[in-house]
């Protein structure tokens, strides 16, 4: 299955990478994180329905699912399925308020 990472999702990945690299001074962890994100997205592409469905009020996000990043389980890949395309919307820590974040993104037109 093909996949695309939305700009907000890419920003999330970069932000987390920089956190490990700069704030935590852990370049090896930062690189492992990038590799883990790639591996996790590849796994999702092989089995796209393995992610847990997320029930949100927004009908445009009714196919939303999430899956943990390998070895960084607190961070989750949030994605939708559309025919033969997997869209990675966000890559966020599980404690973030996903409904609020995605609602804000939707209103700004960042999810279309």
Span 15-39, pLDDT tens digits: 999 999 999 999 999 999 999 999 9
Would you say the pTM of this structure is higher than 0.85? yes
In the sheet that 65-69 helps form, which strands lie side by side, from edge to edge?
A: 2-5, 85-93, 72-82, 65-69, 52-53
> What domains are there in the chain, each with its CATH number?
2-107 (3.30.2310.20)
Structural contact between residues 109 and 8, judged by C-beta atoms closer than 8 angstroms: no
């Amino acid at each position: 299955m093909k996949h695309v990472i939305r700009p907000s999702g890419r920003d999330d990945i970069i932000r987390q990478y920089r956190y490990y690299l700069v704030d935590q001074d852990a370049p090896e962890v930062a690189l492992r994180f990038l590799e883990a994100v790639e591996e996790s997205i590849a796994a999702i592409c092989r089995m796209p329905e393995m992610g847990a469905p997320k029930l949100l009020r927004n009908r445009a996000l009714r196919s939303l699912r999430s899956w943990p990043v390998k070895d960084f389980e607190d961070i989750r890949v949030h994605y939708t399925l559309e025919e033969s395309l997997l869209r990675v919307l966000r890559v966020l820590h599980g404690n973030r308020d996903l409904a609020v974040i995605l609602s804000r993104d939707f209103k700004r037109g960042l999810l279309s």
